Amino acid sequence: MLWSCTCSRMRMFTLKTFLITFLLLLLEQRGIFALQDVTVELFGTNMYGTVAAFGDFNSDKQTDIFVIREQSEVVIFLADSKSPYFKPKVNITKDMLPGDKTITSVVPGDYDGDSQMDVLLTTQDKSSETSVFIFWGNNHTLEISKRYTLNFTLTDQPLVMDFNGDMIPDVFGVTTPPQTVVCYLTKRIQECRNDFNKSIRMRTPHSNAFIDLDKDFTADLFLTTEDGNFETWLNKDGTFAKGEVVSSPAKTIGQSSFVDFDGDGYQDHLLPACLDEACQKSVIYIAKRSSEEWVEVLSDFKQRDTVWGFVPGDAIHPLVLHLGDYNLDGFPDALVILRNTSGSEQRAFLLENAPCNAPNCSSVGRMFRIHWDQTDLGAIQKAVMATFFDIYEDGILDMLILSEAEGKSDLMIHALKNNFEADAYFVKVMVLSGLCSNACPDDVKPFGVNQPGPYVMYTTADSNGYLKNASAGQLSQSAHFSLQLPYTVLGLGRSANFLDHLFVGIPRRPGETETRKHEWTAIIPNSQLIVIPFPHNTPRRWSAKLYLTPSNSVLLTAIALIGVCVFILVIIGILHWKEKKADDREKRQEAHRFHFDAM
């Protein structure tokens, strides 16, 4: 009877265990997406200013934040292990710049080739001409007394790119009077030439890009011209040759962006636009590779009885999509600012990349879907800018929102943590300059360089056995608050398999015919890969440092393992207790039999 009761209890315990495990797995499969405001935890009381750029300034493998304050000074918030997790440590004050200058952009990078991060600033004066200043980095700080100035002014903010393939960022722009120039600053020696050999009038604000458009793992050049056209200049053996020219689909357009929208391994051209001057009717177009057809991937901006639309933007805050894979499904999503067309309300919205369910996007197979029910985003009124940022360096993209506040000249910074609970997987890749490997001059750590131009792509099998691709360019745009991250986060979906193939390519020097590309195989999911392409022209010798980020499945596995161990210990305890009772009963019977025999 006792054994029967024990078995019944054990069966009930086992049933409860399975039910709890099933519920956990069910919740995990659903994938809950929620946001948590962590602004104070990140910035403390320093939650104001305009977020202008990201980069690892002090080479500690933690991404720092560059903030413009009062349009006259720059503050670098360094990542820290204690709250507040971002502390203002390095300042470029307004007295370090010529008077009456307004700071318009910040572009961190290693411009002199010493593997230390420098800071490039652009400023405007009353004549709207753009000046370029560089503060050289030295031992995790800036040489404030050695401010460097380009010898001429530009018509707009420059594109920072690697024009000659030496893995040192160059400055590409149009001078006044108009002439297209490329400035090289290697070893702090300024050399500006018309290497592009073309004089092109750029649109202001431009959205030029340095991105691989034909999947040969060499970055090409994309230009937005004054007449509303888009020009592609393909990199052929290190030299740019003019390719296709595509006309704009609308008169009022925003900034061009490039992502692998449908997961075919090619970069697609995304363009937000307004179909009227007041932006009462908005649309997002996509242009596939080698196609002049513009396909609508979002045209429905209606929320019940309210119609939303894009904010037209200006030269300071143009209409732009900030892209990132928030749910790690392998398809990039977007953050955008929309306003109520019949009122004054202006908020940030998440656009999810979802399968197409409308006839106008059937040729692409994907579309954007607006998340109307994100109350955390909706609570931030008068939003001006929104972008993705991996706050906790865990591979999950969080959000930074900038909004206007009454009575304050600076914007307010809001940090929202992405509590996406589905156990999706990712790979995070950062490509360094490769100017040195482990033995760098003066014991410099070569991590904080913000290298434009590398191209990353993976191919693998998903959980259903189908081939899956994703690709991204690193720091392809630098002007007008593009706010691109110095790394790429590629979602893998729910496939926990090893990544079959990961390819990394870098720009080539003029006349170099061999593609600079290396392949890694069997990459562990949820890992960060830091690629050091040294030496540049010998890809087989490139190295990579792998850092792992445990996922929720590790915690669930640990809980299950502990549960099994406890269950086994309970069974052992019960059996031990039963055996002890049986031994005691047998001893009493022996003693009783001894006394009976003695009588």
352 neighbors 372 (Cβ within 8 angstroms)? no
Amino acid residing at 287: A
Tell me if 370 is assigned to some domain: yes
> Is residue 448 a contact partner of residue 116, using CB atoms and an 8 Å limit?
yes
Interior angle at CA 588, CA 583 and CA 592, nearest 5: 150
Q: Which two tokens stand for residue 142?
A: 């800036």
- The values of phi and psi at residue 271, to 5°, are -145, 115
pLDDT over 70, % of the chain:
91
Residues 199, 170, single domain; the answer is yes
Residues 363 and 373: beta-carbon distance below 8 Å? no
Q: What share of the chain is helix, strand, coil (3-state, %, to 5)?
A: 15, 40, 45
> Residue 593 falls within a domain, yes or no?
no
Query: Mean of the pLDDT values across residues 318-323?
Result: 95
What is d(CA 134, CA 204) in angstroms, rounded to the nearest whole number? 23
Q: For residue range 376-399, what is the model confidence (pLDDT) as tens digits? A: 888 999 999 999 999 999 889 999
pLDDT of residue 228: 86
Q: What whole-number distance in Å separates Cα of residue 130 and Cα of residue 70? A: 18
Same domain, 504 and 457: yes
> In 3D, which of 260, 264, 253 has the Cα closest to residue 333?
260
Q: Report the half-sphere exposure of 32 (CA within 13 A, side-chain side).
A: 11
Collect contacts of 499-503 with beta carbons under 8 A, ≥24 apart: 499/427, 499/458, 499/460, 499/523, 499/524, 499/525, 500/458, 500/459, 500/460, 500/461, 501/458, 501/459, 501/460, 502/427, 502/429, 502/456, 502/457, 502/458, 502/529, 503/217, 503/456, 503/457, 503/458
**Three-state SS for 564?**
helix
**Tokens at residue 40, please?**
């104070």
387 shares its domain with 489: no
Of the residues 401, 418, 435, the one at which a domain ends:
418
Question: Same domain for 366 and 458?
Answer: no
Backbone angles phi, psi at 68, to 5 degrees: -95, 130
Secondary structure letter of residue 201 according to DSSP? P
Lowest mean pLDDT among 18-27, 260-269, 306-315, 566-575: 18-27
In three-state form (DSSP H/G/I as H, E/B as E, the rest C), the secondary structure along 407-420 is CCCCCEEEEEEECC
> Distance between CA 401 and CA 379 in Å, rounded?
11
pLDDT digits (tens, 9 = 90+) for 69-78: 999 999 999 9
pLDDT of the residue at 258: 96
Strands (E) across 38-169 are located at 50-55, 64-69, 73-79, 86-92, 102-109, 118-124, 130-135, 137-138, 141-142, 148-149, 159-161
Write down the residue that tokens 């931030």 correspond to.
380
**Are 118 and 211 in a shared domain?**
yes
Is residue 126 located within the same domain as residue 254? Answer: yes
Q: Which residues lie closer than 8 Å to 33 by C-beta, 6 or more apart?
A: 326, 327, 418, 419, 420, 421
Verify that 78 and 130 share a domain, yes or no. yes
pLDDT of amino acid 391: 94
Strand order in the sheet with 527-532: 488-493, 425-431, 527-532, 543-548
The dihedral through the CA atoms of 373, 374, 377, 379 has a sign that is positive
Same domain, 141 and 43: yes
Query: pTM, whole model, 2 decimals?
Result: 0.86
Q: Give the CATH number of the domain where residue 505 resides.
A: 2.60.40
Q: Does the pLDDT at position 311 exceed 70?
A: yes
- Label residue 9 by pLDDT band (50, 70, 90): very low
Q: Give the pLDDT of residue 66.
A: 97
SS (H, E, C) 413-472: EEEEEECCCCCCEEEEEEECCCCCCCCCHHHCCCCCCCCCCCEEEEEEECCCCCEEEEEE
* Full domain range(s) for residue 454: 425-552
Predicted pLDDT of residue 76 = 96
The residue to which tokens 């018309």 are assigned = 194
Answer yes or no: is 599 within a domain.
Answer: no
* Residue of 484, 485, 468, 476 whose CA lies nearest to 525: 468
Cα(255)–Cα(285) distance, integer angstroms:
11
Mean pLDDT for 61-84 is 94
In this structure, is residue 7 part of a structural domain?
Answer: no
Query: Rg of the chain's alpha carbons, rounded to an integer?
Result: 29
- Residue range 91-109: mean pLDDT, rounded: 91
**446-499: per-residue pLDDT in tens?**
777 899 999 999 999 877 778 889 999 999 999 999 999 999 999 988 877 888
Tokens of 267: 């970069």
* Count of the separate structural domains present in the chain: 2
User: Residues for the chain: how many in total?
Assistant: 599
In this structure, is residue 235 part of a structural domain?
yes
Residue 392 belongs to some domain of the structure:
yes
Q: Does a structural domain hold residue 210?
A: yes
Among 418, 447, 480, where does a domain finish? 418
Instruction: Please count the other Cβ atoms lying within 10 Å of the Cβ belonging to residue 568.
Output: 10
Same domain, 409 and 435: no
Instruction: Give the chain's mean pLDDT.
Output: 87
Q: What pLDDT does 23 receive?
A: 41
CA 565 to CA 17: how far, in whole Å?
13
Is the model's pLDDT at 31 over the cut of 80?
Answer: no
Whether the Cβ atoms of residue 186 and residue 113 lie closer than 8 Å to each other: yes
Question: What would the mean pLDDT of 1-19 be, rounded to a whole number?
Answer: 41
**The two structure tokens encoding residue 97:** 């710049």
The answer, yes or no, to whether residue 217 has pLDDT greater than 90, is yes
User: Hey, what are 462's tokens?
Assistant: 């998903």
Q: Is 539 part of a structural domain of the chain?
A: yes
Output the 3-class SS for 138-174: ECCEECHHHCEECCCCECCCCEEECCCCCCCCEEEEE
CATH of the domain at 115: 2.130.10.10
Strands 73-79 and 64-69: antiparallel
Instruction: Provide φ and ψ at 255, rounded to 5°.
Output: -85, 135
Please identify, among 363, 389, 418, the residue that sits at the C-terminal boundary of a domain.
Answer: 418
Position 176 confidence tier, pLDDT thresholds 50, 70, 90: confident
Contact, 271 vs 258, CB < 8 A?
no
Residues 463, 411 within the same domain? no
Asked whether the predicted pLDDT for residue 594 surpasses 90, the reply is: no
Residue 277, Cβ density class (10 Å: 0-12 exposed, 13-18 middle, ≥19 buried): exposed
Spatial CB neighbours of 467, under 8 Å, sequence gap ≥ 6:
459, 460, 461
The reply to whether 473 and 514 lie within a common domain is yes
Residue 389 sits in the same domain as residue 444: no
